Structure 1
């Protein structure tokens, strides 16, 4: 079998099936990455969502028997909505990050990788392959960087010359010895705009992030948001794009190549108050197809409560009181108490004082006290 010819056929086929960029690299261990990951772990900078076994994250040979190469793919996603909606007084809106617009990117990338697998199997039936996206063991960014998809920016995203960092990436380990492509030289230079734009200073330095401070991570957690971050989250209900929108390499980058990535503006930028009343079924029906729904309804509702506090939306006070009095989740009740104090007013104050007499959860009581402190 002519592997060189197969590589060219794969590149041509990838364009036919809607892959915007494809690159090839060896299946050698990512030894430099291992040291960085160990350091991240020692500093407590990991999110906890990663594969816990660092060796698996850097050693393709632990994931596929006798691997010879890795194929990396990238698909460009939109940075602007074609149909815009604006919030207004009494009808405030939240925002999902761009990576959660349209159909969950895991499904899109897996579809493209599956098609690549099937193409390889028709040409090389004995080939072994293993594909993964985001939740797999390997570091998508490390593979993409080495495969020449883009360079790893100071914002810890892969930046491509063609599409900026607005790309989804995934990879496939193979037993075929494809010739590796050349990595792209880092083009960030002395620019530090992403570091300066990060609302929580999560970007410790270029290429290093403390995930525990990252708004994208914080919006996906399930507990109470630490006090120091609540005001900084703004109206984000899932994810954060600040380090991407600040990047000069993303200026003017907006691609609408894939229909399944097109956002429904009412989902990508949803009205906040209705989120507080959604049942699990209603949440799944409205948001279940986007990647931002993966942690379920509660984190999104908590974030919507904080967003209403951010806007100091007085029209949301009755809805927040309803959450404070009747919601089963202590996190939702407590966050609503804090939000009522933040918004203020006599109605909110009366509700907080009433809740103080009947609430039994100590964490919620703490949040009620925080809400009352806004009046002192």
Structure 2
């Protein structure tokens, strides 16, 4: 087997199936990363969505016997939307982040990696391969950085010269000894725009994220959003793009060639009130193909309530009243109570007083009382 020739053929084939960047690195341990992850654990900066075993996250040989190399891939996604619908009074809209536009990127990248695996196996039938996208053990960004896909930026994204940070990442561990690519020089230099713009201060220092404060995490958690962050979320339904949109390296970046990620305007900027009445089945039918649906409808509907409060949308009062009185989910009733308090009309005060008498859940009772205090009602 001529490994150099195979490596060149893999690069050519990858481009033919829509992989925008491909890089190669060794399967050596990620030693510096291991230290950073241990620090993240000590500081409780992790989101809880990660693989908990740091050894598995940093030791490719634990994931594939006789691992020799890792192939990293990047696929670009758009940053702008044509025909973006505009919200207005009485018809307020929420927003899914760009990484949730179009088809779920896990599905798209897994398919491309599967095609790449099949191609390699036709050349080397006894090759051993293991691919992963986002939910695997390895840290996608660390692999991409070492494989020369881009540099690891201060906002914890990988930035590529060609596509900015608007890229999805995946990787494949192999037992083939491919020649490694050179890592890229850090090009953030003295720019700190992402750190300064982060709405919650989640970027505690360059390259270090406190996920517990990150809006992208907060919009996905299934628990009530801590009150200190609710006003920061605004009308975000899933994810946050702030640290990407302020980045100078992303200026003018809008690559639309990956048709799978073309946004559907009414889905990625939906009417907030219409979201609140969706059943599980309706939510799955409408949003199930998007990566932003992976946590189910409950966090999205909670975020829609926060967004309605952000807009102080009085037209939402009837629906919020229905939810606080009838919805079986304490998180939704409690968030509806908070939203009613933020909207703050005489009608709202009467609804909250009425619900306080009949509500039994401790969390909801607390939210109702705080909402009444917000309205200066004792």
Q: Counterpart in 2 of 1:145?
A: 145
Q: Structure 1: how far apart are the matches of 2:320 and 2:287?
A: 21
Question: Matches of residues 1-40 of structure 1 in structure 2 within 5 Å?
Answer: 1-40=1-40
- The alignment partner of 1:367 has SS state of helix
Q: Counterpart in 2 of 1:287?
A: 287
Q: Counterpart in 2 of 1:334?
A: 334
Q: Counterpart in 2 of 1:48?
A: 48
Unmatched segments (≥5 aa) in structure 1: none
Q: Counterpart in 2 of 1:265?
A: 265
Q: Counterpart in 1 of 2:117?
A: 117
Question: Matches of residues 64-75 of structure 1 in structure 2 within 5 Å?
Answer: 64-75=64-75
* 1:232 CA displacement: 0.3
Q: Counterpart in 1 of 2:239?
A: 239
Over residues 292-322 of structure 1, what are the superposed CA-to-partner deviations in whole Å (9 max), with x where a residue is unaligned? Answer: 1000010000000000000000000001001
Q: Structure 1: how far apart are the matches of 2:266 and 2:219?
A: 19
Q: Counterpart in 1 of 2:370?
A: 370
Question: Matches of residues 1-376 of structure 1 in structure 2 within 5 Å?
Answer: 1-376=1-376
* 1:257 CA displacement: 1.1
Q: Structure 2: how far apart are the matches of 1:158 and 1:329?
A: 38
* 1:370 CA displacement: 1.4
Q: Structure 2: how far apart are the matches of 1:363 and 1:342?
A: 17
Q: Structure 2: how far apart are the matches of 1:248 and 1:46?
A: 27
* 1:327 CA displacement: 0.6
TM-score normalised over the length of structure 2: 0.99
Q: Structure 2: how far apart are the matches of 1:52 and 1:230?
A: 28
* 1:374 CA displacement: 1.7
Q: Structure 2: how far apart are the matches of 1:346 and 1:283?
A: 33
RMSD: 0.5
TM-score normalised over the length of structure 1: 1.00
Matched pairs, number: 376
- The alignment partner of 1:161 has SS state of coil
Q: Structure 1: how far apart are the matches of 2:370 and 2:177?
A: 61
* 1:252 CA displacement: 0.3
Q: Structure 2: how far apart are the matches of 1:362 and 1:105?
A: 39
* 1:83 CA displacement: 2.3
- The alignment partner of 1:254 has SS state of coil
* 1:371 CA displacement: 1.0
Unmatched segments (≥5 aa) in structure 2: none
Q: Structure 1: how far apart are the matches of 2:301 and 2:209?
A: 26
Q: Structure 2: how far apart are the matches of 1:155 and 1:42?
A: 20
